[in-house]
Structure 1
Amino acid sequence: MNSPAVEFYPGALVSARGREWIVLPESDTETLRLRPLGGSEKDESLIYLPLERQPVCPSIFPWPTVSQARTHSASQLLLDALQLKLRSGAGPFRSFGNIAVEPRAYQLVPLLMALKLPIVRLLIADDVGIGKTIEGALIARELLDRGEIQRFAVLCPPHLCEQWQHELAERFHIQAVIVRTATANRLERNLPPGTSLFDAHPFTVVSLDYIKSERRREAFHRFCPEFVIVDEAHTCTQGGQARQQRYQLLKGLAESENRHIVLLTATPHSGDEDAFFNLLGLLRPDFTQLKDLPQEARADLREDLSRHFVQRRRPDISEWQDASMFPERKTKEETYRLTGAWGRLFNDVMDYARELVERSEGQGLREQRMNWWAALALLRCISSSPAAAVNALRTRLDGGAGAEGAVELTLEEVEAQVSERVLDGVDDALSADDIEPAAKTEDTSRLQELIAAAENLAGAANDPKLAKLHEHLIALVKEGFQPVVFCRYIATAHYLADFLRNKFKDAAVKAVTGELTPGEREAAVAELGDTETRILVATDCLSEGINLQNLFTAVVHYDLSWNPTRHEQREGRVDRFGQKAHEVRCTMLYGEDNPVDGAVLQVILRKAESIRKELGVLVPMPDDQGKLTQALLNAVLLRKNRQFGAHAQAAFDFGEPAQQIEAAWQSAREKAAKNRSIFAQRRLKPDDVLPEWRKSAAVLGGEEDVQRFVSRAMSRLGAALEPYKQHFKAHLDTLPTSLCERLAAEGLTGTLRIDFKQPAAQGAVFIQRTHPLVSALADTLLEQALDNDMNDADGIARAGAAFVGNVSLKTTVLLLRLRYQLSATRDNQTRLMLCEETVAVSAVGSAPLTEVSSSDVRELLGAQAVRNMPPVVRDRHIQQALDALPRWKEALEAIAETRANGLLADHRRVREASEARGSYQVTASLPVDVMGVYVLAPAPAGV
């Protein structure tokens, strides 16, 4: 039997297949997308009307009945269930019902900036650890939920792909696939001819190294989604071949005027003026003119740029009174002396390294350069550990010559390979290679003596650097800190971990290096979370890509990085958004009479730190592709008559290379100060953002609401939470069978340790409003409340009456569920969206109905009953309220219309840029759903 041609709009209630449904967007005259009343998104269904046996008819939501009365304590449970299951909230931000993170005020600024742009072009240059991933993904989620985009791609370095995939899934409920060499063929397999994987998979995380090649770049330009996030965007400016390819990729994407692009970087200005302004040119081509315009001609263009560029440092956020989100970072230095056998070996290695360089003078360029790199490798490795020095001395640096079947590498290839392992790279391409560099160029008895001496130095008795680390870690662990020890090379990491396991018997000690895949590294770090005391030893493979703030509270730089940006990245893994500790410790360990450490500290690291303190900005080292560092270390290598002693650091003079670096630092500081002044974010302040967040949070509920609801719901369903070490255990298997089955489908079984605060306690799962446990509990209780056949005296209450002590006149409270059709028209296309919210109104005595704030309704419904109300009296009060509903109908609809107009104003204000290209319209779906009716009577005198 065919259904009649009736058009149902989003938000309308219909009756079909023996139950009630809400009509969702994307419905038309023949096909309805429906969600069962009280059900969740996973229960959505499609109905093809011509094939329905029984006609789909309009339905009226049933009012509560006297038979649905329950205890007064069950009334607030209905309010919480209604509020926490909302996904299409009616606040000014559409996405907040679909995210598993509570953004902080400063993280909402980029979102509000994005929504004030007709086409989003934004450069977010916030400091390391502030939360750029959250800021970028929040914009994507909001545009998705507004229907302005259907697809998006994240472009990032390959080692960040898994982190992005995880963040999108865990925090934003977006299931993205990773696209890189190892996965692309599998994703493209079985696709119809001519179909791009970017059409088949709407959400992708794409490796920049995979997509940058000319062939793939051109295909990506054709099929690229309408929204793109670019992480580490500073690596995509003009320069070397790889950077040039990435820049051409982004330049082609930016040429599409309707494509939204969000660029993320902590170092937008790495000392290269052209690169910085090319980055700005991706936002809008005319922004490149700022480089050459005189100061007086910049005002208008600079004002325009401020709508597209946001950069905040920790001090900026402190001024916004949000510094509680970050711990206090306390730094210190620990030193050791080159004494005894270690000092003698160090001198011998320095002498041997100098001999290598001097021996090659007058020989061919290849011989000279290979000996120089071998010498520098020795300096780096002997300063790291005896284990790294042994590996360097044993590994031949011969460019592949001599080995059977080996192809001799060119000098350029040798230099590229060795510099990657010896130096730390430049700021748009920090080295991730933690294999010890080769230092052996020939077989000599001298070399064998050095190897033997280095092998004999293993252990704290002969290794003063290791002894100092042990001493420092004892103090950190005793004070309750959980340290990460960063070193440069794999051999050093294992050397330290083996030693520390024997010294810290009660702690879990693990080494994580580049030998492991990104997934294995993440799993290894997670394993440490099961222990009370943990020490992680890691190479710089962990200084990017895996966040450590949930497990660790201290960073020790066992090996000084030769690039200050790397130091900030290491510390930023721990000192970042979400760190629960109030204090984070950061320690630099160095040899006070080690000339290598002296050069790096004096000329590079301390200068960078002084500029950072002065400007509040981390200024990348102005190193001209590593040439200045090479010159500096060359001065160390060739310096004779070394006089080591207690004050040797202050006496070091590194000559012309140090002066060149000082001049470069001064120039970089001046440019950074100028740019900081030009591009400082002034447009938006917390007062512009916080009211919008509070409005949405009031509609959707926060952490306290989630904890109250889950605790009460679990208790009412026979599985009360068990307090455990300042969080809880949830015994899921004791819940009703139908609910257990629903949770098992989400992978939730047995006993689950849960926490309602973020970050969660170690070993516990953070439970927020979008977690499957919350959704399943809310759905189950709402289904019970709407089922007239349920006769559970302890169930959720749609009606109730009680004597309470916080009212002086009889007060009737109505819980309403309001639904709106939100129509957004843009570029001649109209999108229909459904918005929902829970609202409370009350009538005090004979006064008319008025709205009640969320805090006031919680106080009313949360009040304790002061005495029992006889059932006959209770039922009479409820029936009187139900009898008043028909005459309140007009007032209820007026409230719905008023709130619809307010919602329209909210959306227009937040997305004001759309006014130039489109419009919004909001219509209330009537009649209003009355979800609950509660009568609160003043307690009789004397009670």
Structure 2
Amino acid sequence: MTAAFSPGDLIYARGREWVALPSPEEGWLCLRPLSGAEADIQLIHPDLETETPRPARFALPEREPLATQSAAQLLSEALRLSLRRGAGPFRSAARLSFEPRAYQLVPLIMALRLQTVRLLIADDVGIGKTIEAGLILRELIDRGEAEAFTVLCPPHLVEQWTGELKEKFDIDSVAVTAASAARLERGLPQHMTLFDAYPQTVVSLDYIKAEKRRDSFARACPKLVIVDEAHACVGTYQGRQQRFELLTRLSSDATRHLILLTATPHSGDEEAFERLLGLIDPEFSGRAFEDERSRIRLARHFVQRRRIDVTSREWGEERSFPRHETSEISYSFDNAQTAFHDAVLDYCLAVVEDAGAGQRERRLAFWGTLALMRCVGSSPAAAASALRNRLKSDPDRLGDHVFDDDGEDEDAIDVEPASGLNTGPLASLVAQAEHLARSLDPKIAATVKVLAPLIKAGANPVVFCRYIATADHVASGLRKAFPKLRIEVVTGALTGDERRARVEAMGGDAQRLLVATDCLSEGINLQHLFDTVIHYDLSWNPTRHQQREGRVDRFGQSALLVRSVILFSPDSAIDGAVLEVILRKAEAIRKATGVSVPLPEERGAVTGALMNAVLLRKGRNQQLSLDFGFDQDARNFETRWRDAEEGEKASRARFAQNSMKPEEVAPEWKKWRELLGGPAELLRFTGRAMSRLDVQLEMQKQNSYRAHLGELPKQIAERLASRGLEGTINLSFDEPPLPGHAVVTRSHPLPATLAESLLEGALDPVSSPLNPIGRAGAWSSSVVKVLTTVALLRLRFKLTVHGRVERMLLVEEASAIAFEPGGMIAAGEAARKLLDAETAGNLADVARTRLVEAALARTASLVDGPVAEHAQTRAQALAEDHDRLRRAGSDASRFLSRVSVEPVLPADVIGLYVLVPAPS
């Protein structure tokens, strides 16, 4: 900053007024137009300007044009909605494109109470961990505490993260993956790394964990890191070990902010859990939580909540999530299917018996058996594909095809596996499978029977299949059954962008049905378009079932009820085994612990347990089970999963964090809503603003509105088009939005552009193409007893954070004061509400003019008196708000920073209105 100007000063340069912001370089001026937006900020050097910048003073309201009451209300709302640099403790609130729920503020408040943010956020699937981490990220950026950041996540989540950051938090980030890294590095100077050039990144863990990249990344890594699916970084497998080494190195810098996200922090593995906690603080890595003091300290860094915790009445979030109903629907084989399944089972068991004694040969025989049986149970099309592809088998990848792992490194594998069973004649099985694929499929018929009443009732289902061939087979059958319904297929045959585009394209249809493989069970949220899940194929991993349903049943779902249907056949040995051994047991554990506990990671135990169940269900030779140890595997599997359940129960008893109560968050939440305006205020402003511009905001039904942007004045329509909005759009003003609707928050381009345009027109009527709405007026009011004046104010403050590094920010607040001849009678929202009170009749134009002129004549004394006093009062209150939020519940001896707030005077008087008492 130059010696002549300080942050908050008004400056005249380049033919207009600006507000001085903190400058990043000595001698330069960082300026934002007085009536402009954040995007209009300029960095200029006074010595390079043709006209030397000089001090300016904000223009007071003028007599003409006289404002009506409706114009005053509109200006008040436009002022509040146009501010982006909030003065309150949640500085980021004005930049969000959604309205967070109170419970989602808990991790943010926890972060603000830490000098260095180290958090493990372990909330359930669908509660909003991404939102909670994004709130912290946006807040730290807006506070000046973080300029660069990296999100580390599995590769299939990279696009979701970059999209969520841009859409919800107005944060531009660069995706760094194996596919994009070379392009991003191309042309960079020798001394510059990719992370120097792109300070805000979302990075694939699979890409960055390699040793040759790990070291360079660790050296250039920003001081703020978010790790998604953090549990996948603490195991003993080779890939996990590489990730753990990277995170250990990053966490060793005690000044680095580190936020870990996972829905399964414990999962019965005590050692992995302790390694996870050790990333937060090395002191947490030992088993030192038997004493209360240690648990209290950990609670400052660890938040873990089930859905039932946040939907309890005390949080008032009963409607944040839909009611969920799960049902099991069975169907029967016909004679041809029964014969085919029996033939395949006979063949597979013969192969297992002939596998020999070698461990690898037996393992491949088991996995090959299960792989083929999975395909047979999925669909004749998948079975035929697996049998035809058997010679292309990679034996070492068979396990990846058999087991539904959580997809930590890549998409769920949905290609039909080669069976790996290369002995004996398979021609007859292939012929049977191909014949069945062309015949009427009882499984599809059962699916149609399930879907028909749901679709008639307006449901929008997602049908999850295991294999690509099955998905295509099912979609073909459903298109015949529902010819008028929009039906699309999304599988691993499409790229990530193609999948996302195909799903989003369905938003314009009144009703839709999606057939997908598990490539969509993570990575793309479906809650805005779909409300029903059909498990066409049973997953062998209960976590995968949870992930499927979690795409739909999550925060933001507009339906009051979400249904999930498990489809199975009692005639299928494999369906029965999976239901009995895995899924129903997983559901019992979920009911007991409140969360899903993943399967034990030892594949051999799972294989043996399933094979044992298959043999028992089909009455096969018990000796085979004994010879191969299947019964022992089944017992080991039971023991390991029971141990995981007990470990999860113990973990939650020791570490579950619910100490922050609603009454601690609610007051801050209420202040946020009052200062910034909620959905009702946004709807009112948007409707009023468009009406003033001779365009109606059409109400379709509850929470559904239509805006014809092309009918707006040309300059506003062009500004909207530059921000990606044009034509006719569907809007919702409350969350969750209806399908095909954009939710409107204060940062949505429509209200933001309307507010900026109307405010600019009022402050600079000469340059504005819009009819000015006037900044001064008078009318008769039913709520005042004596002559009362209301002043709309824009307050600016210098907010300084004193700590290891001192940071000064310029922040703003829309406010108002009301005063009578005897002094000020109301401030803030109470004063603003006087403008909304019912009028008591019209005043003659000459009386209005006289009252306004008298009020304007008193403006100078008003600015130096009541307005200045109000600004000082607000500065003190803001400092107390910041201090209370950062210090409450924390250890004062460990807290190093404090906040001071200084008003920038004189404050801006945006509007001045005289209210005359109604005649008695």
TM-score bucket of the superposed structures, by smaller chain: over 0.9
Q: Match for residue 383 of structure 1?
A: 377
For residues 199 and 683 of structure 2, the distance between their equivalents in structure 1, rounded to whole angstroms, comes to 34
Q: Are positions 1:425 and 2:418 aligned together?
A: no
- 1:928 maps to 2:907: yes
**Alignment pair present for 1:79 and 2:76:** yes
Give 1:469 deviation, angstroms.
1.0
Q: Counterparts of 1:497-512 in structure 2 under 5 Å?
A: 497-512=475-490
Structure 1 CA distance, aligned partners of 2:152 and 2:723? 30
Alignment map for 1:464-483 (pairs within 5 Å): 464-483=442-461
Aligned to 2:469: 491
SS at 1:174 equivalent:
coil
1:177-208 Cα distance to aligned partner (Å, 9 max, x none): 00111111211122222112212111100000
Alpha-carbon distance in structure 1 between the residues aligned to 2:765 and 2:372: 81
SS in structure 2 at match of 1:555: strand
Counterpart amino acid of 1:269? H
Distance 1:615 1:231 in 2: 23
Deviates more, 1:469-478 or 1:863-872: 863-872
Question: Hey, what does 1:903 align to over in structure 2?
Answer: 878
The yes-or-no answer on 1:285 pairing with 2:282 is: yes
Which whole-Å CA distance do the structure 2 matches of 1:874 and 1:218 have between them? Answer: 72
- Alignment-derived partner of residue 223 in structure 1: 220
Choose which of 403, 412, 419 in structure 2 pairs with 1:439.
419
In structure 2, the partner of 1:806 is: 783
Alignment of 1:592-741 (within 5 A): 592-621=570-599, 623-636=600-613, 638-639=615-616, 642=619, 655-726=631-702, 727-741=704-718
The reply on whether 1:346 has 2:341 as its aligned counterpart is yes
Q: TM-score, normalised by structure 2?
A: 0.94
Which residue is equivalent to 1:51? 48
1:898 to partner: Cα distance: 1.0
Letter in 2 for 1:485: V
Among 777, 798, 801, the alignment partner of 1:824 is 801
1:260 Cα deviation from its structure 2 partner: 0.4
Secondary structure at the aligned position of 2:823 is classed as coil
Supply the distance in 1 between the matched residues of 2:679 and 2:251 (Cα, whole angstroms): 40
Question: Quick one: distance in 2 between partners of 1:174 and 1:168?
Answer: 5
2:436 partner SS: coil
Equivalent residues of 1:824, 1:830 under 8 A apart: yes
Q: Which amino acid aligns with 2:897?
A: G
Q: Identify which of 849, 868, 877 aligns with 2:851.
A: 877
Asked whether the 8 Å contact 2:488–2:513 carries over to 1, the reply is yes
Q: Distance in 2 between matches of 1:43 and 1:323?
A: 42
1:567 to 534, 538, 545: 545
- State the Cα distance separating 1:491 from its structure 2 match: 0.8
Q: Residues 154 and 410 of structure 2 are in contact (CA less than 8 Å); yes or no, is this contact kept in structure 1? A: no
Q: Residue 357 of structure 1: which of 337, 352, 376 is its match?
A: 352
Post-superposition offset of 1:754: 2.7
SS of aligned partner of 1:170 = helix
Q: Does 1:918 align with 2:915?
A: no
2:324 alignment partner in structure 1 = 329
Aligned equivalents of 2:279, 2:435: Cα separation in 1: 56
Q: 1:2-17 maps to which residues of 2 (within 5 A)?
A: 6-17=3-14
Q: Deviations over 1:348-405 (max 9, x none)?
A: 111111111123336x6555444333222221111111111111111124656xxxxx
For 1:840 and 1:369, the matched residues in 2 are separated by 75
Residue in 1 that maps onto 2:860: 886
- 2:738 aligns to what? 761
Give 1:575-590 correspondences, 5 Å limit: 575-590=553-568
| Residue range with higher mean Cα deviation, 59-68 or 633-642 | 633-642
Contact (CA 8 Å) 2:789, 2:819: kept in 1 or not? Answer: yes
Displacement of 1:792 in angstroms is: 9.3
Picking from 87, 90, 93, the partner of 1:93 is 90
Paired residue secondary structure (2:466):
coil
d(CA) in 2 for partners of 1:739, 1:898: 37
TM-score by length of 1: 0.92
Amino acid at match of 2:376: I
Partner of 1:549: helix, strand, or coil? coil
Is the CA contact (8 Å cut-off) linking 2:393 and 2:420 kept in structure 1?
A: no
- The alignment partner of 1:26 has SS state of coil
- Change in Cα spacing, 1:286 to 1:6, as seen in structure 2 (3 Å) is closer
**Secondary structure class of the residue paired with 2:471:** helix
Question: 2:626 maps to what in 1?
Answer: none
SS at match of 1:100: coil
- Cα deviation, residue 867, structure 1: 2.7
How far 1:642 sits from its partner (Å)? 3.0
Match of 1:456, SS?
A: helix
Aligned 8 A contact 2:372 2:386 in 1: yes
- Contact 2:13/2:54, CA 8 A, preserved across alignment: yes
1:541 aligns with 2:519: yes
Secondary structure at the counterpart of residue 806 of structure 2 = strand
1:406-417 equivalent positions in 2, closer than 5 A? 414-415=395-396, 417=397
1:793/1:134 Cα in 2 relative to 1: closer, same or farther (>3 Å)? Answer: closer
Question: What amino acid sits opposite 1:862 in the alignment?
Answer: D
Q: 1:139 to 1:557 in 2, by over 3 A?
A: same
Between 1:874-883 and 1:132-141, the stretch displaced more is: 874-883
Report the aligned-residue RMSD: 2.3
1:850 maps to 2:830: no
Query: Which of 836, 852, 860 matches 1:862?
Result: 836
SS at 1:927 equivalent: strand
1:312 to 305, 308, 313: 305
* Alpha carbons of structure 1 residues 144 and 840: separation in structure 2 relative to 1, 3 Å: same
Task: Report the 3-state secondary structure (helix = DSSP H, G, I; strand = E; otherwise coil) of the residue aligned with 1:66.
Answer: coil
Contact 1:599–1:654 (CA under 8 A) maintained in structure 2? no
Query: Secondary structure of the residue that 1:538 maps to in structure 2?
Result: strand
Relative to structure 2, which stretch is displaced further, 143-152 or 58-67?
Answer: 58-67
Query: Which of residues 19, 22, 28 is equivalent to 1:22?
Result: 19
- List gaps (5 residues or longer) in structure 2: 621-628
One-letter identity of the residue aligned with 1:674: A
Counterpart residue number, 2:105: 108
Quickly say closer, same or farther: Cα 1:690–1:65, change in 2 above 3 A: same
Conservation of the 8 A alpha-carbon contact between 2:115 and 2:897: no
Equivalence for 2:295:
302
**How much has 1:637 moved relative to structure 2?**
5.0
1:454 CA drift (Å): 1.9
C-alpha distance after superposition, 1:99-119 (max 9, x if no partner)? 112111111000000111111
Q: Distance in 1 between matches of 2:808 and 2:609?
A: 64
Residue 487 of structure 2 aligns to a residue in which SS? strand
Percent identity for Structure 1 against Structure 2: 48
**Residues in 2 aligned to 1:366 and 1:121: alpha-carbon distance in whole angstroms:** 44
Q: Distance in 1 between matches of 2:567 and 2:801?
A: 59
Alpha-carbon deviation of 1:5? 6.8
The question of whether the paired residues in 2 share the 8 Å contact of 1:506 and 1:533 is answered with: no
The alignment partner of 1:769 has SS state of coil
User: Are 1:354 and 1:637, in contact at CA under 8 Å, matched by a contact in 2?
Assistant: no
Instruction: Note the C-alpha offset of 1:903.
Output: 0.9
- Is the 8 Å Cα contact of residues 198 and 224 (structure 1) preserved in structure 2? yes
Q: Determine the C-alpha separation between the residues in 1 that align with 2:687 and 2:669.
A: 25
Mapped to 1, the partners of 2:713 and 2:444 lie a distance apart of 57
Aligned residues: 905
User: Contact (CA 8 Å) 1:509, 1:537: kept in 2 or not?
Assistant: yes
Q: Which residue of 1 aligns with 2:625?
A: none
